[in-house]
């Protein structure tokens, strides 16, 4: 049966608000509550009597628009913050600029009640944008009682731009804006943001819940069906998990009146049949069960069981069940059911349910530094342009006038390439902020009233090909850097400005200075050469023997001023003679790389090892050698190659590893050297095991470790094809103290290198996640990471272009011959693209990657009926009974 959940949500706020409160108010720190259109003669902020939320005027956050109030007969029916409006008769795009915390998840909610504020009774229709991306269409002709839109979103900058865009003849308007910071460890998606579809708690009450009862000010609609029976408790229900639903929402629940029937919630979304859904189900047992009573049930989505294990709610304690991947509905018809198991004596129970759809915001915002520069320029010159709101570059039809921008792919932040402020009544000096527009090709400041000298920083913008400074009152000398070849500079009409190309007058004395200086330099060089030859003749011939190997400290003694501490000496150190013996004088070479050669060896006559010898010409160097030894002496995980020992004797450096006989993953994907091509199920298992190794480095080690060189050639396979992550020469630890990144010289392998790390030198755990995403794309496609012969050379761009066709067969490795479960393939592909998102904040954690890959494995193995070997990776649904003391476990 179709339920009118969506319609009920839209009616919230149209009547006098009745809600559940509590005695003590949680903190409103970080909340932004804006009463849009609050009259100037009213106090701001004020405390709303119904919610005890502090509301502010929106005037501080927007520079355009006019204010109004809903019709008097409707005003008394609405809460105060929603009874006023700000409307925008001028300009096509008008934007709020709100301060937020970059990289943190926020609840963003906007309210719209027309209320005939203008007396015309013409209900508007317009678009709502988040930065450069469309968010929603607001159609108040269809939603006559008003509406709200709500998303959970992670901003990519410290400023969130919410824009109302005129799309027809009617005037955009807004009633209220609310921003609530959330925790990043809940409501996790593979990609995109979450748009609220509905959020309900199951009760016969007509009350709905928000702040103060909900610390995040989520709004819970009361919902119930005739075929249900309500159960309640007066006991305190623990809500201590990462979602922290309000206790009032857990104190009631619904069960089917007919105990043998399922509890069903269904809906139809025919307008958007392809929408993807995330479901968050909140359970708590609130009845006293007798000894012979059992409540156990399965969750079913469109007739498909959602988990391998049935749900048994805990007594008076929250259990939240969630899907780690989005789900779809056939033809937009969605049905969620709870069905009792055969051994259950009681019907299923549900306390609360949240349903979200996935919304993508793919277009990157314009480079944050350049946006700040434009704001600075705007402020410096007192410019007031109606269309200088929102993102400067996108969407293209709303681009700021006076600008041109680079049109790169949507994942790369646009850059400003042209700025034309000719005849704009500019006064004062040339704005210093222009130097932050580092990709400018064209700059036109002509026909203004600019004064002062031409700044040197203009010459430092190497991309500039054209500058027009004519028709101003500039003075001084044009910097020589602006008269370089390839740069066209116009500066006529500045009578006090002199070109640097005019040669200064010289005297005979000035010619003598360089001549004397040159003769003196020659004399000094000759004297130094004679002294060197005399000293060299007196030195003993053995002097070269005491020189240390290149790129390493002279001794293993640590001094206070030494930039490189010595390797911590432990019992695993081997002498060079022992290395010769274990390798039988380096008889069997396994491979060769930038570090040198790898030889096969044997320790204690039986244990096979791989001996990695650092050559004198190695590109790795002593620093990386020392880093790898130090790291591998203290980490231990089944999916990391283990260190047996090392040699550090004079010029001889070697690392002795466990022997991994099946070599690296890249060889198996390519079939190089006759290696067998691994099937899809094995590929997924290898990916999951490599992810477990990375997860251990990120959360199982103290301090956390970033690998920095994750790639298919660094994933080795043992005799059972178990994945082992190798090569830790570039790995870095984070300092103690909670830092989420370190600044470091960029290192890694082209193609796998995190673009954000490359641009900022700020290394974090998400840098490994990006590289792992590229590895996963290799596993899926068996394509080269960078192939200049492809139309899209980088693998992420190639996959992105192929995704538009919607045919996964064109993306999957043809060597698999179609032998894979399409659901697991799609999930793995979505995960890979999420990991390879150019913005680190949008990438999942390695823990989330591990969970998702386990789901893919279950889907694949259920197709093959081979789940008996995968007991450790066995659940497509995750039951999360959270507590605040939960900590990562080292394996």
**Residues placed in the known binding site:** 612
**Structure token pair of residue 707:** 């690998």
Indicate the length of the chain as a whole number: 891
CA distance 597 to 639: 23
Q: 886: alpha, beta or left, given left = phi > 0 and alpha = psi -120 to 50? A: beta
Q: Residues annotated as binding site for ATP? A: 612
Q: What whole-number distance in Å separates Cα of residue 394 and Cα of residue 161?
A: 12
Contact 257, 336 (CB under 8 A): no
Cis peptide before 511 (omega within 30 of 0): no
Q: CB under 8 Å to 766, separation ≥6 — which residues?
A: 754, 756, 840, 841, 843, 845
**Coil vs helix vs strand at 42:** coil
Long-range Cβ contacts of 398-405 (<8 Å, 24+ apart): 398/92, 398/93, 398/165, 400/374, 403/374, 404/442, 405/366
What is the C-alpha to C-alpha distance for residues 13 and 566, in angstroms, rounded to an integer?
A: 67
Calculate the CA dihedral of residues 792, 794, 799, 802 and round it to 10 degrees: 0
Radius of gyration for the alpha carbons in the chain, expressed in angstroms and rounded: 33
Count, in order, helices (H) and strands (E) of the chain.
14, 48
Whether the CB-CB separation of 657 and 726 falls below 8 Å is answered with: yes
Are the C-beta atoms of 161 and 130 separated by less than 8 Å? Answer: yes
Token pair of 649, please? 């004797």
DSSP-derived letter for residue 243 is S
Which residues contact residue 418 at a Cβ distance below 8 angstroms, ignoring those fewer than 6 apart? 403, 404, 440, 441, 442, 443
From CA 255, how far away is CA 262, in angstroms rounded? 9
**In the structure encoding, which two tokens stand for residue 247, read together?**
């206790």
Nearest of 13, 32, 114, 127 to residue 68 by alpha carbon: 114
Peptide bond into 634 cis (omega under 30): no
- 474: exposed, middle or buried (Cβ count in 10 Å: 0-12, 13-18, 19+): buried
d(CA 91, CA 840): 34
Cβ pair 13, 79 in contact under 8 A: yes
* Maximum Cα interatomic distance, the chain, rounded to a whole number of Å: 114
Q: Where are any strands of DSSP class E within 463-604?
A: 466-468, 473-477, 488-490, 496-498, 589-593, 596-603
8 Å CB contact between 282 and 352: yes
Residue among 102, 158, 59, 155 nearest 375 (CA): 158
What does DSSP assign to residue 236? Answer: P
- Cα–Cα distances (Å) from 879 to 52, 249, 348, in that order, read 35, 19, 16
Q: Which of 35, 444, 709, 768 is catalytic?
A: 709
Cα–Cα distance for residue pair 782/798, rounded to 1 Å? 12
Active site residue 274: no
Residues 6+ apart with CB under 8 A from 865: none
Residue 212 preceded by cis peptide, ω within 30: yes
Give the dihedral sign, CA 293/299/305/306. Answer: negative
If DSSP codes are grouped into helix, strand and coil, which group holds residue 699? helix
228 token code pair: 């249900």
Reduce the DSSP state of residue 532 to 3 states and report it. Answer: helix
Active site residues: 709
């Amino acid at each position: 049966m179709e339920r009118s959940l969506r319609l009920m949500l839209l009616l919230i706020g149209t009547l006098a608000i009745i809600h559940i409160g509590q005695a003590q108010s949680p903190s409103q720190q970080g909340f932004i509550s804006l009463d849009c259109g609050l009259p100037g003669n009213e106090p701001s902020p004020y405390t709303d009597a119904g919610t005890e939320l502090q509301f502010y005027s929106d005037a501080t956050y927007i520079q355009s628009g006019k204010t109004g109030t809903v019709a008097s007969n409707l005003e008394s029916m609405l809460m105060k913050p929603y009874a006023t409006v700000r409307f925008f008769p001028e300009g096509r795009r008008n934007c709020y600029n709100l301060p937020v915390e970059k990289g943190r998840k926020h609840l963003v909610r906007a309210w719209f009640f027309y209320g005939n504020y203008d007396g015309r009774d013409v209900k508007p229709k317009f678009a709502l944008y988040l930065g450069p991306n469309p968010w929603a269409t607001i159609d108040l002709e269809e939603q006559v009682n008003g509406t709200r839109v709500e998303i959970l979103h992670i901003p990519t900058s410290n400023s969130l731009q919410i824009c109302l865009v005129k799309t027809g003849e009617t005037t955009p308007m807004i009633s209220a804006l609310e921003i609530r910071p959330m925790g990043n460890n809940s409501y996790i998606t593979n990609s995109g943001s979450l748009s609220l579809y509905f959020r309900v708690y199951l009760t016969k009450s007509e009350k709905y819940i928000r702040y103060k009862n909900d610390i995040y000010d989520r709004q819970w609609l009361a919902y119930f069906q005739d075929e249900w029976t309500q159960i309640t408790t007066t006991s305190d229900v623990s809500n201590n998990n990462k979602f922290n639903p309000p206790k009032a929402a857990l104190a009631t629940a619904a069960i089917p009146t007919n105990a043998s029937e399922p509890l069903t919630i269904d809906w139809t979304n025919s307008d958007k049949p392809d929408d993807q859904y995330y479901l968050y189900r909140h359970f708590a047992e609130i009845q006293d069960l007798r000894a012979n009573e059992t409540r156990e049930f399965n969750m079913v989505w469109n007739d498909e069981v959602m988990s391998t294990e049935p749900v048994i709610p805990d007594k008076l304690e929250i259990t939240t069940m969630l899907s780690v991947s989005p789900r779809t509905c056939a033809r937009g018809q969605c049905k969620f059911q709870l069905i009792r198991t055969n051994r259950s004596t009681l019907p299923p129970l549900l306390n609360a349910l949240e349903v979200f759809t996935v919304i993508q915001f793919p277009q990157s915002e314009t480079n944050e530094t350049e946006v700040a520069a434009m704001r600075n320029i705007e402020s410096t010159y007192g410019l007031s342009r109606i269309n200088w709101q929102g993102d400067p570059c996108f969407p293209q039809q709303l681009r700021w006038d006076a600008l041109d921008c680079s049109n790169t792919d949507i994942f790369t932040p646009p850059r400003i390439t042209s700025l034309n402020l000719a005849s704009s009544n500019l006064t004062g000096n040339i704005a210093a902020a222009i130097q932050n527009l580092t990709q400018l090709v064209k700059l036109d400041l002509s026909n203004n009233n600019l004064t002062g000298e031409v700044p040197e920083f203009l010459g430092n913008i190497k991309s500039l090909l054209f500058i027009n400074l004519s028709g101003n009152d500039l003075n001084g000398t044009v910097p020589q850097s602006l008269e370089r070849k390839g740069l066209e500079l116009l500066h006529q009409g500045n009578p006090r400005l002199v070109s640097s190309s005019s040669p200064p007058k010289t005297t005979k004395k000035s010619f003598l200075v360089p001549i004397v200086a040159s003769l003196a330099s020659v004399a000094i060089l000759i004297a130094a050469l004679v002294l060197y030859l005399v000293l060299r003749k007196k030195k003993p011939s053995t002097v070269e023997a005491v020189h240390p190997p290149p790129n390493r400290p002279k001794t293993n003694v640590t001094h206070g001023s030494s930039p490189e501490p010595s390797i911590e000496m432990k019992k695993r150190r081997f002498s060079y003679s022992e290395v010769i013996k274990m390798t039988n004088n380096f008889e069997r070479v396994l491979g060769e790389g930038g570090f040198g050669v790898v030889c096969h060896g044997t320790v204690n006559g039986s244990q096979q090892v791989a001996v990695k010898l650092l050559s004198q010409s190695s590109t790795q160097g002593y620093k990386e050698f020392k880093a790898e030894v130090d790291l591998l002496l203290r980490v231990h995980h089944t999916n990391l190659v283990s260190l047996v020992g090392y040699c550090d004797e004079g010029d001889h450096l070697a690392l002795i590893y466990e022997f991994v006989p099946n070599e690296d993953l890249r060889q198996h994907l390519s079939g190089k050297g006759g290696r067998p091509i691994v099937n899809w199920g094995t590929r997924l298992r290898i990916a999951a095991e490599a992810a477990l190794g990375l997860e251990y480095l990120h959360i199982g080690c103290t301090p956390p470790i970033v690998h920095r060189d994750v790639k298919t050639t660094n994933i080795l396979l043992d005799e059972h094809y178990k994945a082992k992550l190798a090569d830790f020469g570039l790995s870095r630890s984070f300092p103690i103290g909670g830092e989420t990144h370190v600044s470091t010289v960029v290192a890694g392998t082209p193609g796998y290198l995190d673009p954000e790390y490359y641009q900022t030198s700020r290394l974090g755990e998400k840098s490994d996640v990006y590289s792992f995403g590229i590895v996963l794309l290799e596993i899926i496609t068996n394509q080269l990471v960078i192939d200049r012969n492809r139309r899209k050379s980088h693998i992420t761009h190639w996959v992105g272009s192929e995704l538009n066709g919607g045919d996964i067969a064109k993306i999957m490795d043809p060597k698999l011959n179609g032998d894979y479960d399409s659901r697991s393939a799609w999930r793995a592909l979505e995960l890979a693209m999420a990991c390879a998102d150019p913005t680190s904040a949008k990438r999942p954690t390695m823990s989330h990657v591990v969970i998702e890959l386990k789901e893919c494995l279950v889907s694949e193995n259920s197709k093959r009926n081979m789940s008996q070997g995968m007991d450790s990776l066995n659940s497509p649904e995750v039951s999360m009974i959270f507590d605040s003391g939960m900590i990562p476990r080292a394996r």
